[in-house]
Amino acid sequence: MITKYKSRARKQPSAAVRPGGEFAPKRFEPRAVKTAAPVHPDSKLKIMVLGGLEEVGRNMTVFQYDKEIIIVDMGLQFPEEDMPGIDYIIPNVGYLEDKTEMIKGVIITHGHYDHIGGIPHLMGKLGNPPMFMGKLTAGIVKKRAEEFNKCPKLNIAEINEDSKLQLGKNFRVETLRVNHSIPDCFAAIIHTPIGTIIHTGDFKIDYSPVNDKPADLNRIAQIGGRGVLLLMADSTDAVHPGYQKSESSIGDEMSRIFEKLNGRIIIGTFASQLSRVQKLFDLAEKYGRRINLQGRSMNDNVEIAHQIGYLKFNPKILIEDHELNRLPDGKIMIIGTGAQGESNAFLMRVVNGEHRSVNLKAGDTVIFSSSVIPGNERTIQTLRDIIVRQGAKVINYEMMDVHAGGHAKQEDLKLMMRLLKPEYFMPIEANHYMLQAHAELAEQVGIPKEKIFVADNGQIVEFHRADGRALGKLTREKVVTDYVMVDGLGVGDVSNIVLRDRRVMAEDGMIVIIATIDNKTGDTIGNPDIISRGFVYMKENKELIQKTRMKVKKIVKDHNPRTPADDDYIKNKIRNDIGQFLFSQTKRRPMVLPVVIKV
């Protein structure tokens, strides 16, 4: 029996929205009735994760039933170390581009960039369907969309924990408030003709969150009691035992630290860590410090959250850069971005002496109030070394409790599974080893192994009904989920070949060989010119450069100038032969760029 929610009010149109864009939440009384959209024997529910099953980031999930589709999240992924020049990566929506009429709505779970960062790039390709998100998330998304000329005017409707969405005939969505490191986070409860799917988004269980309500465990248990077909749950901290710390406990530890500090306090954290920022504002008021915000994203997020009442502080506590020198050091707190060692962020510009108004000095204390994102360890360690060399003191989460993660740890994850009691389970939003760790937790709480799906990006999970039961399987079928890389204004124009060329140049450099050839005789005129960048220093390798020149002259001389496709042949011969010669001499493979000029 499918649990259906029937409205007492008149039937709302698909994606019911009040005039002005506000979603109109209606109270639905639960009762068991026949499905409004009957289940056809051949109808199947397909679930495809376009990003977030092989990485932390690029989160986007597609739900398809018959000829209707809904989407949850549309995030970006920050580049790996072997992606020089790439700003970020967004999901590949090739599967959806010829199905835009089928897309009934997009639900955004919260306002972190790994869940919203792809919106400005993708909404135009998807036909600009209606979007549903919390109030704070809507503010952040609208602010980001302003920076992209090609982004259409978004059709955003705000939701809360009481919202009910009817998207097309086959998808009814309820929202469940969950805790994270930013307010307005929601899990999506998706009712389909096959059964109920729960997508948690990012979550943790916090019994005393900052400026937010704790998750309603009673309601979660009630949802589990009504029957959950599939739980798709955040796996980011599935490898860590125990329970996640409460955000309020971080404020207590910070308070003890602040009592002992007399100099300036400089704090690096994520701009989206608004619960943390609220605690810092409270502590600044308690200890009589004024706050200077650094970083555009930090300033934007604080402004948006303050305007809608999610951050509570007296605006007079804020000071501009020019006021930093007139106040005693013991009265200053600077909050900025860059705790991950990002090259253009506030902290890195300070330590490099490139910031217009902040320089480190003896007596400063720099607090890293965020955990280390995997892959950033070396960069952050170097950043800390430079800070200490400049006379400041460093405090990080490994030394004291100055950071609480935003993701559920093992005991919290098991609690969520026990409360919801899903028939099937699918870990999401993490690298593969984290997904596997979460799958093992699911087995521990009693979910059969054959009903746990550890999938890859694009791998289709399929459900259908047979003999009155919902049956699911992880198929071998995949949709395309290749990287779409954003580089400056270019979206998707940097291919794997371009990236490979960048890696080659980054690792072994390049050498340009310019050969001027007599058009009549086919002989070289003078010696070929050679330009080396990132390969060898030419003044210290004169013998190698001279041998290379002679090799080029011999390649040109041995060639019959009357051969068709003459230029291409010579260029390819130079590229291949000189590449092999340089490798034999140096054991390095620079990119060889031949230029042939005929006169």
Catalytic residue annotation: 234, 407
Pairing between strand 459-466 and 45-51?
antiparallel
* Assigned token pair, 352: 């490099």
Distances in whole angstroms, Cα of residue 310 to Cα of each of 82, 210, 211: 38, 10, 7
Give the other-Cβ count within 10 Å of 336's Cβ: 24
Indicate the DSSP class of residue 245: P
Classify residue 229 as exposed, middle or buried by CB count within 10 Å of its CB (0-12, 13-18, 19+). buried
Residue 469 near residue 1 (C-beta atoms within 8 A) = no
Distance, first Cα to last Cα, the chain: 83
Q: Residue 114 — left, alpha, or beta (φ > 0 → left; ψ -120 to 50 → alpha)?
A: alpha
- Reduce the secondary structure of 525-552 to three states and give it as a string: CCCCEEEEECCCCHHHCHHHHHHHHHHH
Q: CA–CA separation, 223 vs 195, rounded Å?
A: 12
Residue 74 near residue 106 (C-beta atoms within 8 A) = yes
Question: Which helix or strand (DSSP H or E) is residue 205 part of?
Answer: none
Instruction: Specify the residue for token string 């026990």.
Output: 418
Instruction: Specify the residue for token string 């010829």.
Output: 98
Residue 186 near residue 177 (C-beta atoms within 8 A) = yes
- Reduce the secondary structure of 453-479 to three states and give it as a string: CCCCCCEEEEEEEECCEEEEEEEEEEC
Indicate the DSSP class of residue 361: -
b/e sequence 255-282, b meaning 16+ C-beta within 10 Å: eebbeebebbbbbbbbbbbbbbbbbbbb
